[in-house]
Amino acid sequence: MKKSVKYIVFLAVVAVVAYNSVYFKALDEVKAGTSSFNAAKYAGEFWTARLIPALKKSVSYNVLLPLLQTEKDKAFEQYSHALGIGNIRYFLVKGEGEVISVDENEVIVRLDSAGQRPELRLATEYVFGNAVRDASGSLHINEFENSMDFNNVSAEINKIIRDKVIPPFRSKVKKGDVVSFHGAIELNREYLDLKRVEVIPVELRIKNEELRMKI
């Protein structure tokens, strides 16, 4: 009988401890933790305080291209960034060239590079992904409480590009213009394709237009 009483008391204690250790939250409350994070504000501050200053360290595509062709591993180790250890890597690049085509979704620019005349595609319509967020290597996931906030920052950075960087350039650029750019590119280390490299722009300038304005 005494054993039964002790057993019942033991179960009661376990039940009380378990009750006070485990609790449930409404799904709305869980989401509220994420909704308090202002991704647009964070992206704007990152753009001004970290990304724009980082453009000074952009590698010229005229330098990067021959290195990718002859010493691929060195090029990736020296100039690329990424969150993980996979094959997808991001580069912050700069360049200058002549516009050879203004298409619906992109502007194609031909550069002079070490005797080559490579073509790059400046994205002017579909801007998505994490290239600009990750290319500078100055933003880290451990700065965020969860991956959703981190991804929302990427989306807001891309929105800045779509709303503020591309429209003034797109409205004026035409075939034959000489343009300069800073931006991010995504390359696959294992399956490297240098024929259709796309630049997600951070800064775009029409150089011959600037010259006309000075005159």
Residue type at position 71: E
| 10-29: pLDDT as tens digits | 444 434 333 333 333 343 33
Residue 49 lies in a domain: yes
Residue 8 lies in a domain: no
CATH number, domain of 71, equals 2.40.50.420
- Which stretches within the chain are classed as H helix? 2-21, 27-35, 39-46, 52-54, 61-70, 72-79, 131-135, 147-160, 166-170, 207-214
Residue 147 lies in a domain: yes
Residue 21 lies in a domain: no
Residue 88 lies in a domain: yes
Evaluate whether 68 touches 123 at the Cβ level (below 8 Å).
Answer: no
Name 47's bridge partners. none
Domain interval for residue 187 = 38-214
Residue 152 lies in a domain: yes
Query: How many domains does the structure of the chain reveal?
Result: 1
| Cβ neighbours around 79 below 10 Å, total | 21
Residue 9 lies in a domain: no
Q: What is the mean pLDDT of the chain?
A: 85
Quote the CA–CA distance of 151 and 124 in Å, as a whole number. 21
| 121-175: pLDDT as tens digits | 999 999 999 999 999 999 989 999 999 999 999 999 999 999 999 999 999 999 9
Residue 12 lies in a domain: no
Evaluate whether 100 touches 109 at the Cβ level (below 8 Å).
Answer: yes
Evaluate whether 93 touches 61 at the Cβ level (below 8 Å).
Answer: yes
| 53-112: pLDDT as tens digits | 999 999 999 999 999 999 999 999 999 999 878 899 999 999 999 999 999 999 999 997
